[in-house]
């Protein structure tokens, strides 16, 4: 009987084999970077070498991209500790994204390769959001934007949208403090500026925006607003406008604060959105 030859081949790894076990400082504070992240592996996977332990790395904060050479990483038996570089003070609403791919192998020593582009993304758009803002929802894509009314009295009271299967355009509306019937300031249109806005959501008199709800994935698919009164004792939320794709989300300003700005990313659609709060 002829001998049979067995060949081990490279294998893609599922996200479930990697766990972000800790982030220090905790998510929500990027002003204190450098940030240390501990990533735990399934113990069946081993590093391939001590010389090249990270085959893909990216850290982007507010449009600034930090090179892999600025990262410190140390391997343990079944984990890697990654220390991101100091990025300096960041304004509220700035979001940092990181993704890395460690070189790992199965127990026999055969390499396990990534399945996304040239490198496997261990984490896909894990966001650390500066204090004074809600978490960002949606995904990377299109230029970043950030907008406030430019006055200490301006608080978001409504939004104008262009919607279809996705939210393709967004415009914020500001009013002075909690003045009922005060003049409305329309902001810039983010997204498809050539499309007519076809949905308006406005807070009831005496209320201002404190949160957003909707659906998001690769784009912001549907959007609605959450409003509260000055004492945050009364609560109102709009319906949702847009499509049914993506996962449901709800983000809110910290207790006692209101939305005075919006930030995100947009191209021909609204890719990402967050509220700036004060």
- For residue 51, what is the domain's CATH number? 2.60.40
Q: Is the pTM of this model over 0.75?
A: no
The whole-number pLDDT of residue 77 equals 60
Count of structural domains, the chain: 2
Domain membership of residue 48 (yes or no) is yes
Domain membership of residue 149 (yes or no) is yes
Q: Which residues of the chain have pLDDT under 70?
A: 1-80, 82, 84-131, 150-153, 177-181
The whole-number pLDDT of residue 234 equals 92
Give yes or no: residues 230 and 266 share one domain. yes
Question: Average pLDDT over the chain, rounded to whole?
Answer: 71
The whole-number pLDDT of residue 170 equals 96
Identify the domain containing residue 104 by its residue range: 15-129
CATH assignment at residue 231: 2.100.10.30
- The string of DSSP codes covering the chain is -PPPP---------GGGEEEEEEESPTT--TT---EEEEEEPTT-EES-SS--EEEEEEEETTEEE-GGG-EEEE-SSEEEEEPPP-----TT-EEEEEEEE-EE-TTS-EE--SSTTS--SSSSEEEE-TTBPPPEE-S-S-EEEEE-SSTTEEEEEEEEEESSSEEEEEEEEEETT-TTPPEEEEEEEE-TTSPP-EEEEPPTTEEEEEEEEEESSSEEEEEEEEEETTS-SEEE---EE-S-SEEEEEEPPTT--EEEEEEEESSSEEEEEEEE-
Q: For 10-57, how does the pLDDT look when each residue is reduced to its tens digit (9 = 90+)?
A: 444 444 455 555 555 544 444 455 566 666 655 455 554 444 455 555
Give yes or no: residues 93 and 214 share one domain. no
Give yes or no: residues 156 and 263 share one domain. yes
Last residue of a domain, one of 106, 129, 152: 129
The whole-number pLDDT of residue 176 equals 76
The whole-number pLDDT of residue 216 equals 92
The whole-number pLDDT of residue 188 equals 92
Give yes or no: residues 273 and 149 share one domain. yes
The whole-number pLDDT of residue 248 equals 93
């Amino acid at each position: 009987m002829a001998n049979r030859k067995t060949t081990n081949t490279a294998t893609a790894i599922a996200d479930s084999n990697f766990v972000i076990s800790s982030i220090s400082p905790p998510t929500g504070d990027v002003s204190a970077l450098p940030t240390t992240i501990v990533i735990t592996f399934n113990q069946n996977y081993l590093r391939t070498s001590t010389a090249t332990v990270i085959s893909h790395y990216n850290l982007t904060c507010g449009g600034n991209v930090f090179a892999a050479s600025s990262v410190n990483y140390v391997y343990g038996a079944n984990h890697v500790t990654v220390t991101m570089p100091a990025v300096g003070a960041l304004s509220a609403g700035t979001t940092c994204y990181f993704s890395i791919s460690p070189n790992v192998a199965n127990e026999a020593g055969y390499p396990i390769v990534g399945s996304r582009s040239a490198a496997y993304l261990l984490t896909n758009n894990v966001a650390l959001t500066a204090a004074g803002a809600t978490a960002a929802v949606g995904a990377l894509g299109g230029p970043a934007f950030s907008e406030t009314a430019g006055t200490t009295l301006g608080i978001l009271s409504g939004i104008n949208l262009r919607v279809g299967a996705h939210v393709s355009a967004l415009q914020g509306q500001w009013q002075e403090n909690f003045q009922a019937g005060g003049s409305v300031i329309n902001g810039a249109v983010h997204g498809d500026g050539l499309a007519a806005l076809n949905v308006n959501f406005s807070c009831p008199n005496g209320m201002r925006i404190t949160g957003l709800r909707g659906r998001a994935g690769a784009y912001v698919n549907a959007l609605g607003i959450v409003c509260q009164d000055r004492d945050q004792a009364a609560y109102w939320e709009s319906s949702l406008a847009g499509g049914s794709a993506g996962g449901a989300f709800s983000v809110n300003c910290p207790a006692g604060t209101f939305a005075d700005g919006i930030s995100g990313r947009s191209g021909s659609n609204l890719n990402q959105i967050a509220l700036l709060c004060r």
